[in-house]
Amino acid sequence: MTLAGGSGRHRLEGDDKIEVGIIGIGDMGRLYAAKINAAGWIVNVCDRPEKYESLQEEYKGTSINVYKDGHLVSRRSDLIIYSVEAALIYNVVAQYGPSTKMGAIVSGQTSVKAPEQRAFEAHLPADSYIISCHSLHGPKVDPTGQPLVLIQHRAPDEKMRLMERIMAAFGSRIVLLSYQEHDVVTANTQAVTHAAFLAMGAAWRCSGDYPWETDRWAGPIETVKINIMIRILSAKWHVYAGLAILNPSARIQVTQYAKSVSDLFKLMIADRHDEMLRRVFEARRKVFGWQDDEQPAAAGEGKDANTSATTGTTTSSSTRQQRPILMSDAMLAQFHQAARKVAPPPPTDGSSTDQPAAGTTEQQTTDSSSPPVRPPNSHLSLLAIVDCWHHLGIDPYAHLELAATPIFRIWIGVCEYLFRSPARLRASIRAAVEDPTFRGDDTEFVVAARGWAEAVNAGNFEHYEWRFKDTARFFEPRFEEANKVGAEMLKVVMSSR
């Protein structure tokens, strides 16, 4: 169930005395403190004891109150939000939970809820209430209009209304779920997406290639892949590790994605074109509901109907009518322009300048008016995503409006774009089987996808951290630029909704 974004905006008498405590001031904790405080609520914060003095200095001159530890925050706050890593939340709640103020609401801003639920039920006093939350976006994204999950686990409606009034500070779209529903939804909308981008990064790192320095990665789809991949790698590793390792649904999906990558690659190198064609088009029918010769028109690209790619006739598809077209040539062109927008300016003295923007090549910097012509690309990462959804019976659109992250909207849009055109999809399959241009890259990608799946299934946070940071170091010089490009892409996506 989804509530309107404005629900609970009106303050009630006595709300000016309500205090909100935030335990854990990382990037999301800072966002929560700033937004809630700006809306007029009293905010109390703390982090690890060794950060006490630096936090005091950071919030000096503000109305945000800094305390030495979670005991002091918990004793006085009417809403206590634990904003800590999912892997650590059990121990943190065990430490500070007994100090919870009588009648207070306790919440957790974690990306996976199963460990949080166990911690709250084990260590919170019986006279406290549990209403959890999760903003389905990163700290660098404007929360306005983004999904914000609320979980009314152990609380009367009166407490829920208070929670809604406080959370109205974000201007987000409130989504009501249970703990179990949350973990399924986040797995469906994030797990495979993250696995794909992390595998791409590891593959490029292992091959020693910066993809924007070669003509092989010159198209607008590649621009999306590269910049979102770098944006993910510039974030905190533990966010993705917790979601993948601690969420059972996510483990299943990451494992299947690696299997789909491997299975499709085996068909490629065995020159089994027809078998690969059948497998990919079967996934297309099941996931998108399109017939093999059906090419739906995106908004602004033709009639509001489906066109047969072979006969040119229009068809009616009740399944298709439920499927919004999320990506078009026009939008991909806008993404290309976003990359060019932050590209280093050309030198005025004839000397060389910095490298071209991520997702563009040196040759492209001379003409920013349109995306370059794309070389043939197997798009193995995209083929495997849809194959994975098909084999797990996942409908990627099911939670699109409910709780999809901005990055997931971009990713499903790019997958949809590739699969929407039968001709484009067949060209990708031909390139996969017949053209060796990307064979080396695809080999590295298979190994990387398997490696990430093994790290997740082993449940080894240290291994996951090492893989993430090792890959991130390779792309670190491009973090600032890619985040700017990514921000522009997200603006395009949000403006198209």
- Tens digit of pLDDT for each residue in 427-442? 999 999 998 888 998 9
Least reliable range by pLDDT among 24-28, 39-43, 320-324, 380-384? 320-324
Q: What is the predicted pLDDT for the residue at 189?
A: 82
First to last CA, the chain: 19
Digit-coded pLDDT (tens) for 156-189: 999 999 999 999 999 999 999 999 999 998 888 8
Classify residue 232 as exposed, middle or buried by CB count within 10 Å of its CB (0-12, 13-18, 19+). Answer: buried
Tell me the domain boundaries of the chain. 15-177, 182-495
CA distance 183 to 108: 14
Residues across the chain: 497
Mean pLDDT, range 373-382, rounded to an integer: 80
Instruction: Report residue 374's pLDDT band, with 50, 70 and 90 as the boundaries.
Output: low
What are the tens digits of pLDDT across the range 402-431?
766 777 888 888 999 999 999 999 999 999
Tell me which residue has tokens 């974030």: 235
Q: Which CATH number fits the domain 15-177, given the four candidates 3.40.50.10130, 3.40.50.720, 1.10.10.60, 3.60.20.10?
A: 3.40.50.720
Encoding tokens for residue 214? 């070669």
- Alpha carbons within 13 A on the beta-carbon side of 23: 29
Determine the pLDDT at residue 10.
64
The radius of gyration of the chain's CA atoms, rounded to the nearest angstrom, is 24
State mean pLDDT over 196-223.
81
Mean local confidence (pLDDT), 311-329: 54
pLDDT value, residue 116: 97
For residues 290 and 284, give the distance between their C-alpha atoms in angstroms, rounded to a whole number: 7
Residues in CB range of 244: below 8 A, 6 or more apart: 191, 194, 195, 250, 251, 254, 456, 464
In the chain, what is the greatest distance between 2 CA atoms, to the nearest angstrom? 72
In this model, does residue 321 exceed pLDDT 80?
no
- Asked if residue 311 has pLDDT above 50, the reply is no
- Give the model confidence (pLDDT) of 240-256 as tens digits: 898 899 998 899 999 99
The helix-helix angle for 380-392 and 273-288 (nearest 10°) equals 60
What confidence tier does 363 reach under pLDDT thresholds 50, 70, 90? very low
User: What pTM did the predictor assign?
Assistant: 0.80
Q: What is the mean pLDDT of residues 146-152?
A: 95
What does the buried/exposed string (b/e) look like for 315-336 if buried means 16 or more CB atoms within 10 Å of the residue's CB? bebeebeebebbbbeebbebbb
Mean pLDDT for 329-354 is 59
At residue 494, the pLDDT reads: 66
Does position 6 have pLDDT exceeding 90, yes or no?
no
Question: How confident is residue 128, by pLDDT bands cut at 50, 70 and 90?
Answer: very high
Give percent of the chain with pLDDT exceeding 70.
82
Contact assessment for residue 492 and residue 486, using Cβ atoms and an 8 Å cutoff: no
Residue 304, C-beta contacts closer than 8 angstroms, at least 6 positions apart: 297
pLDDT band of 235, cuts 50, 70, 90? confident
Amino acid 366: pLDDT: 44
More confident residue, 15 or 5: 15
* 329: amino acid identity, one letter: D
CA 70 to CA 97: how far, in whole Å? 9
List, for residues 20-70, the tens digit of each pLDDT value.
999 999 999 999 999 999 999 999 999 999 999 999 999 999 999 999 999
Q: Which of 19-33, 113-127, 207-221, 448-462 has the lowest mean pLDDT?
A: 207-221
373 confidence band (pLDDT: 50, 70, 90): low
Q: What is the distance between the alpha carbons of residues 447 and 202, in angstroms, rounded to a whole number? A: 9
Q: Are 448 and 178 in contact (CB under 8 A)?
A: no
- CA separation for the pair 302, 297 (Å, rounded): 6
Report how far residue 151's alpha carbon sits from residue 140's, in angstroms, rounded to the nearest whole number.
Answer: 24
Q: What percentage of the chain's residues is helix, strand, coil (to nearest 5)? A: 60, 10, 30
Position 295 scores a pLDDT of 87
